[in-house]
């Protein structure tokens, strides 16, 4: 039985990771630490709110004393670090929070982990506490590929192009340095684009679904031919599980879906699934009366080409050979089933995304859940 501290546990991937972990390891204890920024949502954790193996703490990863006290009080031996500012467009319009959370926040977490797991025992003449600091990173640190370049491996040189990816790259380097310099037991995973339930609707796939349901334009940056490698979020959680349990300390592992799509084709796949859902289920037209293009089977008309994202990376592709060969990792969800599940999740969970859109969940959070 382990106790894990999961930072960013109220975000998209952190919450999915918590659901995955408690299902697979029901005897473990999970502590989620989250600052509940605009991207954090207690509703993402509603399925585990009554689970005695789960505790939520409202706090900032930059609060070193809080993190130290959590590691000590709960005898945490595994820290899984998801907390970050994660949206590239926001990093372009306002990089400050990205530097603060992704770089300084990660640095603070590393200091707390070193203090509790290495320095405090040493001050008592004891050996370090056996531990793991797992850092969740992104394929964006490797920069951009042309259509014919080989996919990113763990040896690909870092070449981040946005304030977001630069801040993630800096955090990856700090994690590496804390291993080499101080002996902190770290692993890092660099993953491709995730999709699935609880995905915040500023990101491409949920944005397209929700805009179709409101009959709003589907904004396509530039020519729409940028390529991303899409992975169902539960498969990311599975990959992290393997890295934590089987990965070697000090190593980095790429996690990807082997599933490259041009943005315009992802949008087409989502459009077609929604149109089919409206044919299969007549009740959807009543539930979503604004969705005129979906009702008329003409969602293509909503596509609107807009000014490109500055510095937009053309293509990401992950070579996950190392993770497959050393850890036995293969994604378990096909894109066909994963995207269908995702579209249906949004069609069935309008209460979740309506609340996210109008921010009303915040008052409720303050009343219901938040505790230290
Ligand atoms: P998200 O934006 O949905 O969630 C981030 C969470 O971190 C939120 O709950 C937020 O409240 C919390 N948070 C932010 N700043 C904090 C702080 N200072 N202290 C405590 N909590 C804080 O992000 P996500 O998409 O779930 O991404 C999670 C991690 O995975 C990030 O590190 C991201 O870089 C990485 N990643 C994401 C993807 C993807 O496709 N979304 C792919 C690869 C890697
Ligand atoms: O590759 C992993 C990364 O994937 C993660 O590290 C990031 O945290 C995550 O946000 C995601 O970054 P992207 O920038 O790739 O995701 P996003 O959903 O913002 O955009 C996907 C692609 O779609 C990208 O090429 C930009 C484009 N796009 C996006 C939006 C929001 C559009 O064309 N229109 C849009 O409205």
Task: Report pLDDT digits (tens) over 15-47.
Answer: 999 999 999 999 999 999 999 999 999 999 999
pLDDT in tens, the chain (372 residues): 999 999 999 999 999 999 999 999 999 999 999 999 999 999 999 999 999 999 999 999 999 999 999 999 999 999 999 999 999 999 999 999 999 999 999 999 999 999 999 999 999 999 999 999 999 999 999 999 999 999 999 999 999 999 999 999 999 999 999 999 999 999 999 999 999 999 999 999 999 999 999 999 999 999 999 999 999 999 999 999 999 999 999 999 999 999 999 999 999 999 999 999 999 999 999 999 999 999 999 999 999 999 999 999 999 999 999 999 999 999 999 999 999 999 999 999 999 999 998 875 555 455 555 444
User: Is-contact 253 153, C-beta < 8 A?
Assistant: no
Probe residue for ligand 1, chosen from 6, 10, 13 as the CB with the greatest number of ligand atoms within 8 Å:
13
Residue ranges lining ligand 2, Cβ < 6 Å: 86-88, 138-140, 192-193, 203-204, 207, 219-221, 226, 228, 263, 309, 316
- Nearest ligand for residue 307 CA: 2
Q: Is the pTM of this model over 0.85?
A: yes
- Within 10 angstroms of residue 281's Cβ, the number of other Cβ atoms is 12
Question: Cα 285 vs. chain centroid, distance in angstroms?
Answer: 32
Q: Among 11, 85, 91, 229, name the best residue to mutate to test ligand 1's pocket (greatest count of ligand atoms within 8 A of Cβ).
A: 11
Q: Are 25 and 4 in contact (CB under 8 A)?
A: no
Ligand nearest to the CA of 237: 1
Among protein residues, the one with the nearest Cα to ligand 1's atom 29 is 82
Task: Tell me the domain boundaries of the chain.
Answer: 3-199+231-258+311-333
Query: Mutation test of ligand 2: which of 142, 193, 257 has the most ligand atoms closer than 8 Å to its C-beta?
Result: 193
Buried b (16+ CB within 10 A) or exposed e, 346-361: bbeeeebbebbeeeeb
Instruction: Report d(CA 27, CA 265) in Å as an integer.
Output: 42
Give catalytic status of residue 89 as yes or no.
no
Q: At what angle do helices 106-114 and 163-182 cross, to 10 degrees?
A: 20
Q: How many whole angstroms separate alpha carbon 264 and alpha carbon 19?
A: 31
**Annotated catalytic, 140?**
yes
In Å, what is the CA distance from 4 to each residue of 23, 44, 46? 14, 18, 19
- Protein residues whose CB sits closer than 6 Å to any atom of ligand 1: 7-8, 10-14, 34-37, 39-40, 60-62, 82-84, 86, 101, 105, 136, 138, 168, 191, 193-194, 200
Q: Which residues contact 162 (CB under 8 A, 6 or more apart)?
A: 88, 91, 92, 140, 311, 313
Quick check: 87 and 93 in contact, CB under 8 A? no
Q: How many CA atoms lie within 13 A of 135 on its CB side?
A: 32
| Type and span of the H or E element at 67 | helix 64-73
Q: Report the distance separating Cα 281 and Cα 60, nearest Å.
A: 44
Domain 3-199+231-258+311-333 is classified in which CATH homologous superfamily? Answer: NAD(P)-binding Rossmann-like Domain (3.40.50.720)
* Four-point Cα dihedral 16, 18, 24, 29, nearest 10: 180
């Amino acid at each position: 039985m382990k106790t894990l501290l999961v930072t960013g546990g109220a975000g998209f991937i952190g919450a999915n990771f918590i659901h995955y972990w408690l299902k697979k390891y029901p005897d473990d204890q999970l502590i989620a630490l989250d600052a509940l920024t605009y991207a954090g949502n207690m509703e993402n954790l509603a399925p585990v709110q009554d689970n005695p193996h789960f505790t939520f703490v409202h706090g900032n990863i930059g609060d070193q004393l809080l993190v130290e006290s959590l590691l000590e009080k709960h005898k945490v031996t595994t820290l899984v670090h998801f907390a970050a500012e994660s949206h590239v467009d926001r990093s372009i319009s306002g990089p400050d929070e990205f530097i603060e959370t992704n770089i300084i926040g990660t640095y603070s977490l590393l200091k707390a982990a070193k203090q509790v797991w290495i320095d405090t025992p040493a001050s008592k003449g004891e050996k370090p506490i056996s531990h793991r600091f797992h850092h969740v990173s992104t394929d964006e640190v490797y920069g951009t590929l042309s259509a014919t370049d080989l996919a990113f491996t763990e040896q690909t040189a870092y070449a981040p192009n946005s304030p977001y990816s630069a801040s993630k790259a800096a955090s990856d380097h700090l994690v590496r340095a804390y291993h080499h310099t101080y002996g902190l037991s770290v692993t890092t995973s660099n993953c491709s684009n995730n999709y699935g339930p609880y995905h915040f609707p500023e990101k491409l796939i949920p944005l397209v679904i929700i805009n179709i349901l409101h009959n709003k334009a589907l904004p396509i940056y530039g020519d729409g031919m940028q390529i991303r490698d899409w992975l169902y979020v539960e498969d990311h959680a599975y990959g992290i599980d393997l890295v934590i349990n089987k990965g070697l300390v000090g190593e980095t592992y790429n996690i990807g879906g082997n599933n490259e799509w041009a943005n315009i084709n992802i949008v087409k796949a989502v459009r077609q699934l929604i149109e089919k859902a409206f044919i299969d289920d007549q009740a959807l037209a009543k539930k979503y009366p604004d969705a005129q293009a979906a009702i008329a089977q003409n969602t293509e008309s909503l596509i609107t080409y807009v000014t490109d994202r500055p510095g937009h990376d053309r293509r990401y592709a992950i070579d996950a050979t190392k993770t497959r060969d050393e850890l036995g990792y293969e994604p378990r969800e096909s894109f066909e089933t994963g995207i269908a599940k995702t579209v249906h999740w949004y069609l069935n969970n309008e209460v979740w995304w309506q609340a996210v859109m109008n921010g009303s969940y915040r008052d409720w959070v303050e009343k219901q859940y938040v505790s230290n």
